[in-house]
Structure 1
Amino acid sequence: MAATICMENKSECGSCVASTVTLTNKSEELNYNPFEHRNVTHPTSTAGSFFHLLKSSLGSGLLAMPAAFKHTGIIPGCIGTVLVGIIATHCVQILVKTSREICQECKMASLSYTHTCVKVFERGPKTLRQYSEAVRHFADYAMAGVCLGGTSVYVIFIASSLKDIIDHLAPDRQYSIEAYCGFLLLPLILITQVRYLKFLVPFSVIANICLVMTIGVTCYYTFVDLPDVSNAKLSADVGEWPLFLSTAIFAMEGINVVMPIENEMAKPEHFLGCPGVLNVTMVVVAALYGVVGLFGYIKYGEEVLGSITLNLPQEDGLALTAKILVAVAVFFTYCLQMYAPMDILWSRISSRVSQNYHNLAQVLVRTASVTLTVTLAVAVPDLELLIGLVGAIFFSTLGLLIPVVVQTVYKWDKDLGKCYYVLWKNGVLLLFYFIVLVSGCYSAISQIIVRFS
């Protein structure tokens, strides 16, 4: 009827104008391509993005996978590695897809991890829009928690390696791991005072070279003279499986660097899809983690330690070199990992500090943060259990919980799929997250109490 009146009066009524505007806005959103509006000064090639993502997922966690297999046995460990790889890949995919779609709606070239979460809540269901600022804080603090928790693990990595080296070179000087954590406090405080990313590039190069050499030496010892498979269990007690899940998530999750890598690609359309940078990288990562975890466990059995480098023979010069290299690699990686949480924390408090005291405040914040990570390492001086605890709390939250919630909120008023597929699928993923969180924390904390009481 309204359309008839408009035709008769040869004029537009209010409802028609509103409808036309809505259709126009929708058309503009669909025609807007975020990739065409990205102005990246130094875009990364597809191959370069692959290596960046590979590097972010291949780190000290790779050396912890044999200990993870100890908690499940061979068969559940292999299946669990594939399962965690698939879930981690899917959560990255839904986060990147949601970020691209919200960029198209908001007509923005790109969004960071935190800004993606905020924009989704700002444009989501009306009842949730009021929580957008709380979501910003939660995402930032989750990111900071991942970095701070990860660096606590690094402190134990370095301390354990130093203890192994010094115990061999100077057997008359036996110190505890807690003591080595304390010795590391001052050097870590000093190296963390470097505030600009460009000055950290040499540290990154040194760390990468040392880590590659360490992995090469470790693989050499692992694959030479493999014992019979009977040295390892086919399946361990189910009660220990949660520590495998949290360790595997700690090892494989690199979601904190995904958005920066995707946003700076010369051809971002190559990031997702099959074959895409993400899928190819995660297949390689899952395969490497599975192989190192499986054969490392077969090699050392129930005696495997939190980092497989600690199982290398002390009397062999090549093995001793690998232990020194991994200590150097993780030491320089520490300051790189601290860059992100320091940037987040400083952006929160800089406006509350007088300009005259900015330099002193930065020094104090960085010193306090390093002290916090060392304190956590001293409180839980067991590499294997600390990795499980940090993976269960921080890495699962950043890599599982937030992407699932963000996609659900974004799709709520749009399209949840046939038979609400997205809702059911994300419900299962949320259940998996809570299983990892609760069981992983319970297993790690209960074993910490037993071991140190």
Structure 2
Amino acid sequence: MANESVKLKPLSPSNKYTDGETGGNGNSPGSNEDYDPHLHREVENPTTNVETLIHLLKGCLGTGILAMPEAFKNSGIFNGLVSTVIIGVLCTYCLHVLVQAQYVLCKRLKVPILSYPESMKLALESGPLCLRPFAKYSPLLVDFFLIAYQLGICCVYIVFVGVNIKAVGDQHTSEPLRLEYYILAAFIPFVLINCVRNLKLLAPFSTLANIITFASFGVVCYYVFQNLPDIDDRPAFGRLYTYPLFFGTTLFALEAVGVVIALENNMKTPKSFGGYFGVLNVGMAFVVVLYVGMGFIGYWKYGEAVEPSITLNFPGNEALAQAILILYSIAIFISYGLQGYVPVAIVWNTYMLKRLEGSNRLLLWEYILRLVCVILTFILALTIPMLGLFISLFGAFCLSALGLAFPAIMEICVNWPDNLGRFQWILIKDVLLIIFGVVGLLAGSYSCISEMVIKFQEGAT
């Protein structure tokens, strides 16, 4: 988005980074240690700490929280509780690692801001020799995962809205309509929300969505706390085969790397983002508690009968349940604008704007891009309308790389070779994170695709 991009001051020749200038570890002898990238940012329409926290909560409190009970079904109730906390802490830590690595690179290069793809490229260029050949390809790879993930979220949101509105519509029609009709009926509203070009203008909508979400939680609790069965009826541990599905769903729910980067880059006071009681930790702590509670109580209540969205377990003939389905659909619809902001920004600023330089139709081309993104997400949603598996697949495939492996690789590179800590503990820790991320990507993606194939075969028969 042209009006939201952070203006970068061009590097002078003396500020450009080369391996020879850093002595191999990225620390330029002539670097100015007093340079603070945060003080040199020029951001149009910066967001305050409160607005950033609101956006962060809305970015995390999407469809994922309603899918947590089904995730607990795949992990077991006790295993799900412990694993969700661990994954939440891990996600938050890796986000800190990513933001700090970007800050270090900005400080070295004396530039106010770097995107995720730029940071990955520069980090690899200063890292171990075996990784440097991959530097020139890394921006495209990071952009691919970022765009795929954010478009995946948008697809999930479309299916969620369609499924919930259909559940209400089926109560008021003599013959239920196909899900595809409800999804298509929502096309124009989704186009309109994705045409909001200013992140700051979305803040009031995010506030409204948060109000709706928290109000809906009260009604959700009303249903799930009624007539709870014996908790001993719920297995403490699930099957090993289904655990990758839990991992993917939980990672999708908790990890909002694309939104986090955009929010930190657009803050008025970016130093308030990190820290023990910064925006990121406060927001993520609140989110993890809500996700653990929703997953635990929801699975305790409905057990193996739990739906991909717990709202679908509520009695469809009750007006209160129908109201929740509609209100939560409105909240998720609003969130589409925030999630759609990221892929549009990447494609527009990185790939289109420089090719359209000098054109007097930039605004038209930007709106065409926004329309194309909506059309693409609707095509995917109509092709594979499997809400639960959609959530798990995009979580495992994209976020294992973006949220776990890539930040760990960047931290190794920016600290290479002399700042890896006593006994090389940073290197050991990050290698373990990389292995964990790769295993999660492969196992989670395989499990999701296998389940999708099975469901397609069942549908064909």
Instruction: Establish whether TM, by shorter chain, passes 0.5.
Output: yes
Instruction: Report if the CA contact (8 A) 1:231-1:299 is conserved.
Output: no
Partner in structure 2 of residue 183 of structure 1: 185
Instruction: Report if the CA contact (8 A) 2:405-2:435 is conserved.
Output: no
Shift of the 324–410 alpha-carbon distance from structure 1 to 2, 3 Å rule, reads: same
How far off its partner does 1:386 sit?
Answer: 0.7
Partner in structure 2 of residue 102 of structure 1: 105
Partner in structure 1 of residue 156 of structure 2: 153
Q: Given the alignment of the two structures, is residue 169 of structure 1 paired with residue 153 of structure 2, yes or no?
A: no
Q: Counterparts of 1:257 and 1:443 in 2: how far apart (Å)?
A: 27
Q: Counterparts of 1:275 and 1:193 in 2: how far apart (Å)?
A: 34
Partner in structure 2 of residue 331 of structure 1: 333
**Pairing of 1:86-125 with structure 2 (within 5 A):** 86-124=89-127
Aligned match for 1:250, one of 249, 252, 257: 252
Instruction: Report if the CA contact (8 A) 2:398-2:441 is conserved.
Output: no
Shift of the 414–102 alpha-carbon distance from structure 1 to 2, 3 Å rule, reads: farther
Shift of the 30–240 alpha-carbon distance from structure 1 to 2, 3 Å rule, reads: same
Shift of the 285–208 alpha-carbon distance from structure 1 to 2, 3 Å rule, reads: closer
Aligned match for 1:415, one of 415, 419, 424: 419
Deviations 1:258-297 (A, max 9, x none): 2344445565444434344433333222221111100011
Shift of the 319–108 alpha-carbon distance from structure 1 to 2, 3 Å rule, reads: same
**Which range moves more in the overlay, 436-445 or 361-370?**
361-370
Q: Which amino acid aligns with 2:250?
A: A
Deviations 1:18-40 (A, max 9, x none): 99xx9x96475333333444566
Unaligned runs of 5+ in 1: 1-17
**Which range moves more in the overlay, 262-271 or 231-240?**
262-271
Deviations 1:41-64 (A, max 9, x none): 776555554444333322221111
Partner in structure 2 of residue 387 of structure 1: 391
Aligned match for 1:302, one of 301, 304, 326: 304
TM-score under structure 1 normalisation? 0.86
Q: Which amino acid aligns with 1:368?
A: V
Q: Which amino acid aligns with 1:249?
A: L
Q: Which amino acid aligns with 1:390?
A: F
Partner in structure 2 of residue 238 of structure 1: 240
Larger Rg: 1
Instruction: Report if the CA contact (8 A) 2:41-2:112 is conserved.
Output: yes
Aligned match for 1:76, one of 75, 79, 97: 79
TM-score under structure 2 normalisation? 0.84
Q: Which amino acid aligns with 1:134?
A: Y
Instruction: Report if the CA contact (8 A) 2:126-2:416 is conserved.
Output: no
How far off its partner does 1:222 sit?
Answer: 1.8
Instruction: Report if the CA contact (8 A) 2:58-2:206 is conserved.
Output: no
Aligned match for 2:294, one of 287, 292, 295: 292
Partner in structure 2 of residue 4 of structure 1: none
Shift of the 372–51 alpha-carbon distance from structure 1 to 2, 3 Å rule, reads: closer
SS at structure 2 position matched to 1:71: helix
Partner in structure 2 of residue 372 of structure 1: 376
Q: Counterparts of 2:372 and 2:260 in 1: how far apart (Å)?
A: 28
Instruction: Report if the CA contact (8 A) 1:213-1:325 is conserved.
Output: no
Q: Counterparts of 1:199 and 1:272 in 2: how far apart (Å)?
A: 24
Shift of the 377–275 alpha-carbon distance from structure 1 to 2, 3 Å rule, reads: same
SS at structure 2 position matched to 1:30: coil
Identity across aligned pairs (percent)?
A: 37
How far off its partner does 1:113 sit?
Answer: 2.8
Partner in structure 2 of residue 344 of structure 1: 346
Shift of the 35–365 alpha-carbon distance from structure 1 to 2, 3 Å rule, reads: closer
Shift of the 102–358 alpha-carbon distance from structure 1 to 2, 3 Å rule, reads: closer
Partner in structure 2 of residue 259 of structure 1: 261
How far off its partner does 1:196 sit?
Answer: 4.2
**Which range moves more in the overlay, 246-255 or 138-147?**
138-147
Q: Counterparts of 1:401 and 1:248 in 2: how far apart (Å)?
A: 16
Shift of the 356–59 alpha-carbon distance from structure 1 to 2, 3 Å rule, reads: same
Larger fraction in helix: 1
Q: Counterparts of 1:241 and 1:366 in 2: how far apart (Å)?
A: 36
Deviations 1:367-390 (A, max 9, x none): 332222122222221211110111
Instruction: Report if the CA contact (8 A) 1:163-1:177 is conserved.
Output: yes
SS at structure 2 position matched to 1:86: helix
